[in-house]
Amino acid sequence: MSPPADGAPAAFSPTDRSQVRRRPQRAHYDEATVYGVLDAGVMAHVGYVIDGQPYVTPTAYWREDRRLYWHGAAASRMLATVAEGAPVCVTVSFLDGFLVGRSGITHSLNYRSVMAFGRARLMTDLGEVRAAMDAFIDRLYAGRPLKLRPTTDDELRRIALVEMEIEDASAKVKDTGVTDLPADDGWAAWCGVVPVETRIGAPLPQPGMGSGGPPTPDLAPYREGARLDDALALAKAYGLPISM
Amino acid sequence: MSPPADGAPAAFSPTDRSQVRRRPQRAHYDEATVYGVLDAGVMAHVGYVIDGQPYVTPTAYWREDRRLYWHGAAASRMLATVAEGAPVCVTVSFLDGFLVGRSGITHSLNYRSVMAFGRARLMTDLGEVRAAMDAFIDRLYAGRPLKLRPTTDDELRRIALVEMEIEDASAKVKDTGVTDLPADDGWAAWCGVVPVETRIGAPLPQPGMGSGGPPTPDLAPYREGARLDDALALAKAYGLPISM
């Protein structure tokens, strides 16, 4: 990547695979938009190919700068494939609402999504794996790694953790009202937006284990009723001083 | 698929590509579980391959019996590829909660997911496309197709709609508390589950368009605060008499 021109925001260069063909007006390649979508989620869909067959595996992930991280059991098919450096597409998406129109063709969805392309590498150094796992927990629950029973080397060996430098990426965002058509004039069907929101529920302490009672400050962003994306943004901001 | 043996629930046969290798105790192949996950969502992640490169495109979808449907613009790369009968993996997943443990390795997520494999075919008959689009709207908003301005043939020609018979599929569900380890005994960190819930927000009528005011009965399942999966289940039950 070349640095951005003076005054231009840092951006991914659209490539043949990342360029959005349909509705290019909804496409974004700047880091702020791409990272905004990537940082709003916890589950990504990792696409990979084995013998010509596509697989899409949902998995927990996180982002640091231009790198995505995810992990799984050392024995997983997905990890075995992507760790070999096969091409990967990591997609993160959110449903934000139903657009309810007055004709069939104007029904739609509001959404945010990112497709990120690259090749992953397996992290094999135990110290590196330990630091990355701490960074993941710290990214979600700022300061929490310091309170936990330390992970043993044997435990770390059972985790396969991969790092993917994002080579190219695009975001696609639709956040509009219904695109009513002239032909819909006069039709009386209800027309508007039904929002969809992902929120935190009431935390449930595990009976007889740990501190009990209300969640500790590392869990403060996850208060009941908070939007998940707001909670994750807050957690990331809290975690900055001690992140990887 | 052969019919189930007497008394056995209808199920997908695990195949080499659909068999869950990791945590097989979380795997399900019965139709009830697979359909339960598929019917709880609106956005699927469609995986396909072009020249060895995997792509994962988020898209709106619905299910009828063992068939999945999704659509897009006739010009889209995803539709052009999958409509040729290339192998496809359609994955639907939901994040249901954070498992917050007392050691790094016991942190996890609760989730539901389905991976469904098959090959899609493009629906080319305009009457068939019209019926399917009505079925999609009716599946989400029971009775609504009868209230809408009829879709024109020109509008239908701009939609590419595909049907995929599910050849094999697996569901994976984790809905537990934290798997605390003996080594975690005595550590005082907060331990428990932070649920994540996707819910309907306050409907926003489009100013000056359509009936205005509160949503009509076809939108009744989408009341503010309802869980999205409950709303979709209710909408599907309402729609049964007139579905495709």
B227 touches chain A (CB under 8 A): no
Note which residues in 178-217 of chain B have CB less than 8 A from chain A. Answer: 178, 180, 183-184, 187-206, 209-213, 215-216
Contact at CB, B199 and A201, closer than 8 angstroms:
no
Whether the CB-CB separation of A95 and B58 falls below 8 Å is answered with no
- Answer whether residue B4 is part of any domain: no
- Answer whether residue B78 is part of any domain: yes
- Which of the pair, A185 or A23, is modelled with greater confidence? A185
Nearest to B203 among A107, A178, A192 (CB): A192
Residue B241: is its pLDDT beyond 70? no
Residue A19: is its pLDDT beyond 60? yes
SS3 content of chain B, % helix, strand, coil (to 5): 30, 35, 35
Residues A80-109 as b/e (b if ≥16 CB within 10 A, e otherwise) read: bbbbeebbbbbbbbbbbbbbbbbbbbbbbb
Number of domains in chain A: 1
- Answer whether residue A185 is part of any domain: no
Whether the CB-CB separation of A161 and A122 falls below 8 Å is answered with yes
Contact at CB, B192 and A215, closer than 8 angstroms:
yes
- A230-244, B101-115, B153-167: least confident range: A230-244
Give the pLDDT confidence score for residue A57 in this predicted structure: 95
Structural domain span for residue A236 = 24-180+191-203+211-242
Pairs of CB atoms within 8 A across A/B: 311
- Answer whether residue B5 is part of any domain: no
The predicted model scores a pTM of 0.94
CA-wise closest residue to B98 among B175, B38, B34: B175
Give the pLDDT confidence score for residue A84 in this predicted structure: 86
Q: What is the CATH number of the domain that holds A217?
A: 2.30.110.10
ipTM score of complex:
0.94
Mean pLDDT within A175-180: 94
Residue A151: is its pLDDT beyond 80? yes
pLDDT in tens, A183-232: 999 999 999 999 999 999 999 999 988 888 889 999 999 999 999 999 99
Q: A139 to chain B nearest CA, in Å?
A: 13
- Answer whether residue B6 is part of any domain: no
Contact at CB, B210 and A204, closer than 8 angstroms:
no
Give the pLDDT confidence score for residue B5 in this predicted structure: 56
- Answer whether residue A1 is part of any domain: no
CA-wise closest residue to A117 among A91, A92, A83: A91
What percent of chain B clears pLDDT 90, i.e. is strictly above it?
A: 76
- Answer whether residue B9 is part of any domain: no
A243 band by pLDDT with thresholds 50, 70 and 90: very low
Give the pLDDT confidence score for residue A242 in this predicted structure: 44
A7 band by pLDDT with thresholds 50, 70 and 90: low
Q: To which residue do tokens 């192949």 refer? A: B29
Mean pLDDT within B31-48: 97
pLDDT in tens, B70-88: 987 777 888 889 888 999 9
DSSP symbol at B182: G
Residue B3: is its pLDDT beyond 60? no
- Answer whether residue A86 is part of any domain: yes
CA-wise closest residue to B121 among B88, B155, B154, B168: B88
